[in-house]
Structure 1
């Protein structure tokens, strides 16, 4: 069983395998995203946080997921185009993953174990967010309803 965030890897939406090791020393915000969700406009706030704090060490990683209400039905190319065209997303997006169940991506299995939340280790909906400190420790979980700007104080404490 992997015990460190840095032991995991994931495939970017462009198809490249990336080790989480490359984010060592950074504050990381991981979000399970969807293009057709009521919370989809949060992409805009996430991008704003990325633009404001990227140079200070904040990294935002988006993981599209289609497990909630079929709200991410598109191909990875469609997701990528939609993020860029509709929200100007420049932070790193990964390939589509599952976040719950037997096929949940290992990164999400790890995060849910470390920060189980109100639903006993399950993710309730799209745009659940996990904040990881510079040492790779998951420190806070945010509900889908939490707007990106409401997380700013917590992010600043870690930067």
Structure 2
């Protein structure tokens, strides 16, 4: 069970264990905004609801320009595990401009790819293959991407992770 931590300005900051969240609440460093009703925490000193979302009482400065690090897991998540070439289920990643030709490990050069397309493409560019990308690779910037320690975002966090309009 995990808890979404919001900064005092309501921007997503991190995902922590419910134990850490309870400690922050009990030490009055955060307050509970949303609880997980189905799983109370039992202790010798009492029973508490597990927090699903907490809000810090003091603002924590976040360095500007905090980039989301490139990772295989991140690329697959960004592309929703769909091949950028054929649209089938993807389990690997591919360099649009191959590394053998100077392609780098960047968000804009990596895409999710099925094993078949990855092997067929080899060290060629999509243009050489006569292929087109189904979308333009991008650096993720939405609120959920800035969260540390999470791969899966819980549905009840949705309203807190919506990008500000």
The structure with the greater share of residues assigned to helix is 1
Structure with greater Cα Rg: 2
Larger RCO of the pair (alpha carbons < 8 Å, separation 6+): 1
TM-score (norm 1): 0.24
